[in-house]
Amino acid sequence: MGYDVIVIGLGGMGSAAAYHLAARGQRVLGLEKFTPAHDKGSSHGGSRIIRQSYFEDPAYVPLLLRSYELWNKLATDSQRDVYRITGGLFIGPPDCQTVAGSLTASLRWRLPHEVLDAGEIRSRYPNFTPGADDIALYEQMAGFARPELTVASHLGLAEQAGATLQFGEEVLEWAETASGVTVRTGRGTYAAGQLVICPGAWAPQLLTEFGIPITIERQVLYWLDPIGGAAPFAEHPIFIQEGADGMQIYGFPAIDGARGGVKVAFFRKGVVCTPDTIDRTVYDHEVREMRTRAAELLPALDGRCLQSATCMYSNTPDQNFVIARHPECASVTVACGFSGHGFKFVPVVGEILADLAIDGSTGHPISLFDPKRLVSI
């Protein structure tokens, strides 16, 4: 049969796109190389921070406000705990990006927030030991999303809306035709009027003709066993802390019970790789470095590492996303380069991709994500 839209890649963005397209009555075929909600790319690891006081750029905030509405709708429609509001602390020297950028976004968009000095941080959140000159922006609406559950929920709702989803089916090539596109896999060739490509870390291979510069980096996630037990971390804000060296770490409450540990990680401390060459082994020296750094801020996290995992960031040179309909290929829409901070946008990116595939444009502000800023296409 013919389809209205084929979606390549059913991770965070692709699963959301498949759902939004199918919910609007489109005949959707979704193709995924791996299993549903797999752990080979960038949409796994049990938790992802969500926040509105966006230190990267205040221009993201309108998309975040809509994304929060859609997170709530996804939770309601799926009847699953896909996200949770915990509050969030963004800690560091007053002039660092993590703090100053968060404050700028909060003030510009009138987001509920507080500014705490080091003493107030320690008094309110005794797990933390900030530096004497550190401050924090506290955001009420910060929290975390469950990536695997989010992907599974979008996939389930997409199928309920009529989408055909096929897994373990790698895309070998795609081509534009007079009437739309064809996509060839190891199982067959499919035709559709529109193609949406959400390749994640496979963007460099699938999008070579676009010339979009994307670098893939290996990242490591750690679950540390708090000294004295996980109970003090059960009701705890998410956090991002920036040190004097500019390096950021982030972490979560103990969201997986007394034996689940506290998840922490460095932000943007990666090694260049490809999906085929990524080293999935986590080494003792990496664990020691994470424990030492985490314990400087949260002394109880100088406990043993219960588990670790690797994932991949797909980074653009300016760390902004790529979301666009190709100006020379009217049948093709691309979403990639989410640079380690994209998952909180999953629901709204799905909505945007449906807009672009069906209407050719969107009312959402996405000029920041035009790939022409990176390369002439």
Q: Residues 195, 200, 205, CA angle at the centre, nearest 5°?
A: 75
Q: What are phi and psi of 327, to 5 degrees?
A: -65, -20
Instruction: Give the chain's end-to-end CA distance (angstroms, integer).
Output: 32
pLDDT at residue 311, rounded to an integer: 95
- Summarize pLDDT for 285-305 with one digit per residue, the tens: 999 999 999 999 999 999 999
Q: How confident is the prediction for the chain on average, in pLDDT?
A: 95
- Summarize pLDDT for 65-117 with one digit per residue, the tens: 999 999 999 999 999 999 999 999 999 999 999 999 999 999 999 999 999 99
Q: What is the DSSP letter of 328?
A: T
Tell whether domain 3-44+148-214+318-373 is in CATH 3.50.50.60: yes
User: Could you check whether 3-44+148-214+318-373 and 85-145+215-314 share the same CATH topology?
Assistant: no
Q: Dig out the tokens for 105 from the structure.
A: 């976004």
Instruction: Band the pLDDT of 313: cuts 50, 70, 90.
Output: very high
Count of CB atoms within 10 A of residue 178's CB?
Answer: 5
- pTM score: 0.96
In the predicted model, what is the mean pLDDT of residues 332-338? 96
Q: What is the DSSP letter of 71?
A: H
Count of CB atoms within 10 A of residue 333's CB?
Answer: 26
CATH of 85-145+215-314, one of 3.10.20.30, 3.90.1150.10, 3.40.50.300, 3.30.9.10: 3.30.9.10
> What is the CA 267 to chain-centroid distance, rounded?
12
| pLDDT over 50 at 377, yes or no | no
Q: 88-92 and 238-242 as β-strands: parallel, antiparallel, unpaired?
A: parallel
Instruction: Band the pLDDT of 376: cuts 50, 70, 90.
Output: low
Domain range list for the chain: 3-44+148-214+318-373, 85-145+215-314
Q: Is the dihedral of CA 260, 261, 267, 268 positive or negative?
A: negative
Portion of the chain with pLDDT greater than 90, in percent: 92
How far is it, in rounded angstroms, from Cα 192 to Cα 241?
A: 46
Instruction: Band the pLDDT of 365: cuts 50, 70, 90.
Output: very high
Instruction: Band the pLDDT of 62: cuts 50, 70, 90.
Output: very high
- Summarize pLDDT for 185-241 with one digit per residue, the tens: 999 999 999 999 999 999 988 887 778 899 999 999 999 999 999 999 999 999 999
pLDDT at residue 206, rounded to an integer: 80
